[in-house]
Structure 1
């Protein structure tokens, strides 16, 4: 499987992908420090720094992951919602998903996305372009971290993967 890691941060999704035998072939990350860490830890994976200018070809990736900026969705932050200055980058992620048409998508964000309407907009967008999905709320403690911070994960898959052809 080929993986595109959007809003890559320091490569958490890529580490998970590698553990599953999935090959990350591209990062999209704008923060200089994160790009430095990615370059050091994954020297052979190219980094595109601006999601606004990034374009994908259909069927280039099997999996797209991303944790779009959370500041406007966080209950501790601005609470301006998914249309806020930073969190609205979700719509760029949706554009890339629609261009690439991967089999699978994973979106991660703060639990506040539920209360600020962000999660509803993400699900609406994925549904509109032909994806089915499951939503899970996971505490970091559930996977061994020493804190309880909860995150929302949306795991989406292309509808056509499971559409049955009449016989």
Structure 2
């Protein structure tokens, strides 16, 4: 299944779906170090990301995959020009500042969260089978917001299943509660999704003790800064490097804006099971 990764950041969605290609993906290792073999079920066809630093990370870790910059200018023609004729899944961790309790709570009409409608426009043009959304927990816990969100999905012909996950559900030592929604094209998929049994996809502590290899890179970076004496231990500003030269700020910003890859891995395994049931 070909994936169009919108609002890509450093590629957390694509890494997670790629991990779903393996029977037993170890997030403490890089993809080329995996012991099991990929079935290549999910393949990222293109990214769309506006941040210059994040684009450099994507270009380094996902070599050869096209990277678009402006989601408002991205359409089927632009994809075709890059040789991309088919999109099955669109992922979108669209900006959450207008939904989050930490933001101005402008809702879907805010200048950032209105980009949600760009995802639906592109999904409609490409006839995507699935859309995977990630956002602030407010997306589904705020009844007013979720009502608008669900209404828009139905208007474009998509059913949905919503999830509220914590990083700790996957064995990580922090909460990071986030909303995830799988939107699926209706018709035969609706019947299967309505009866889908997610219990066989165990998630509790499935990844306990594992650390994402990319996260290890951040820890090493901070450790090196400490050795140089540029930051002091137990300083709440350690990672930000608030010493006049913020060496790590861009790197940490990207992790803060990213997601736990184990979650889209879990969702990808469910999608794979449903699609195989259809075929």
What residue number does 2:111 align with?
85
Q: Whole-Å Cα distance in 2 between the matches of residues 45 and 3 of structure 1?
A: 11
**2:120 maps to 1:94:** yes
What is the 5 A alignment of 1:5-154? 5-21=5-21, 22-56=42-76, 60-113=86-139, 114-115=141-142, 117-154=144-181
CA shift in 2, pair 1:30/1:161, >3 Å? farther
- How far has the Cα of 1:116 moved from its partner? 7.6
CA shift in 2, pair 1:101/1:42, >3 Å? same
CA shift in 2, pair 1:23/1:108, >3 Å? same
Structure 1 counterpart SS, 2:152: helix
Higher relative contact order (CA 8 A, sep 6+): 2
Q: What per-residue deviation string (whole Å, max 9, x for no partner) do you get for residues 54-83 of structure 1?
A: 002697211111110001110011111111
Which of the two has greater strand per residue?
1
Which of the two has greater helix per residue?
2
Structure 2 counterpart SS, 1:149: coil
**Is the contact between residue 97 and residue 113 of structure 2 (CA under 8 Å) also seen in structure 1?**
yes
Q: Whole-Å Cα distance in 2 between the matches of residues 151 and 54 of structure 1?
A: 27
Unaligned runs of 5+ in 1: none
Count how many residue pairs are aligned between Structure 1 and Structure 2: 164
Q: TM-score, normalised by structure 2?
A: 0.56
